[in-house]
Every structure is written in structure tokens, then in C-alpha cells.
Amino acid sequence: ILATPYNLNSSWQVRHRIRAAREQDMAVFAYDYFPQSLSTTKKADSAGQPKKGLFGFGGPKKTNKVLAGAGTYAFLHRTQGWSGEAICLAYTLTDPAISSVLVSADQADQLQALAAVPERDMPPGLAAQIEMARVGTGQAA
């Protein structure tokens, strides 16, 4: 049995460890499917972006506003009918190497919403957005 954190931001080392476990017919339990670094819209929008300097100065120059939010995880909190946590759980469940996902919920309605995720289909194009965000933040392997 392998228990490992697995989420949208998982490094190539974690993904390789999961692949190796699958090749040895091990059960893989995932946890931490919704990392704190993506828990709010602001955090998700700036995930993987270079940090700014003291008082916000010295950071990269602003780019074209038309593409603002492209290549980031901002869509997690903007997808209609889905919460960011539900999207992250659905993404984790799509990996065939994952046997089970350990879910923790503070409230009954949150647990009920997460329990419904395996029965739902992810919105069209969402998997592509996830991969574009992974490439945009340098997490793709």
C-alpha cells in the first residue's frame, strides 16, 4: 500500500512513485487532493507565478490583460456548478493508478457534495484547462 499526497500540483517525483507502485500492483491511497495553495481564488490565480519584491515592487512586468488568468488555476473557483475542491477531487479520481482518495470534511453538506463527485462527469474542456495550468506553472512532467 502506498499513501501519498496527490493533487494538481503534484511533482513529477510523486507521479513517478505512483506509476512505480501501480506497476508493482500496489494499492495507492491519495490524500491532500485540494492543497492550501489553491484554496482561494486569489491563491489559485497566483499559483506558480513569480513572487514580487518588497512592497510589490521588482516583480515581472504586467502582460496583456486579454490573457489574464490564462495558464493559472483561477478556473477552479470560476467553474459554474463546481467548487474548487470538487474539481480537485474529480481530477484525482480520474487517475487510474489511484485506488482510493482520503477525504476530510468539516460539515455534513460538504461531505455530501464531495460524495456526489464520482457520479458526475467533469465539464468539457476542464481536463485541458488543468493541463494548461500545470504547464503554465511549471508542474507538468
Average pLDDT value for residue range 120-124 = 90
Dump pLDDT digits (tens) for 31-77: 999 988 777 766 666 655 555 556 555 655 555 544 444 567 888 88
The reply to whether 141 falls in a domain is no
Give a yes or no: residue 12 inside a domain.
yes
Model pLDDT, residue 74 = 84
Q: How far is CA 135 from the centre of its chain?
A: 12
For residue 66, the model assigns a pLDDT of: 44
The verdict on residue 64 lying in a domain is: yes
Structural domain count, the chain = 1
| The 100-101 sheet, strands edge to edge | 2-5, 28-31, 100-101
d(CA 105, CA 65): 37
Output the domain CATH number for residue 19: 3.20.20.100
Tell me the CA distances in angstroms from 80 to 115, 116, 119, 123, 126, one per residue in order: 18, 16, 17, 9, 12
For 107-113, what is the mean pLDDT?
94
Question: What is the distance of C-alpha 80 from the center of its chain?
Answer: 17
Q: Is the pLDDT of residue 95 over 60?
A: yes
pLDDT > 90 fraction of the chain, expressed in percent and rounded: 48
Q: By residue range, what is the domain housing residue 92?
A: 2-136
Q: What are phi and psi of 5, to 5 degrees?
A: -70, 140
Please give the model's pTM, rounded to 2 decimal places.
0.76
Domain membership of residue 34 (yes or no) is yes
User: What ranges in 24-125 are assigned the alpha helix state H?
Assistant: 41-46, 84-93, 108-115
Q: Which of 78, 74, 104 is nearest to 89 (CA)?
A: 104
Residue 76 counted as domain residue: yes
Per the listing, cell 488555476 goes with: 73
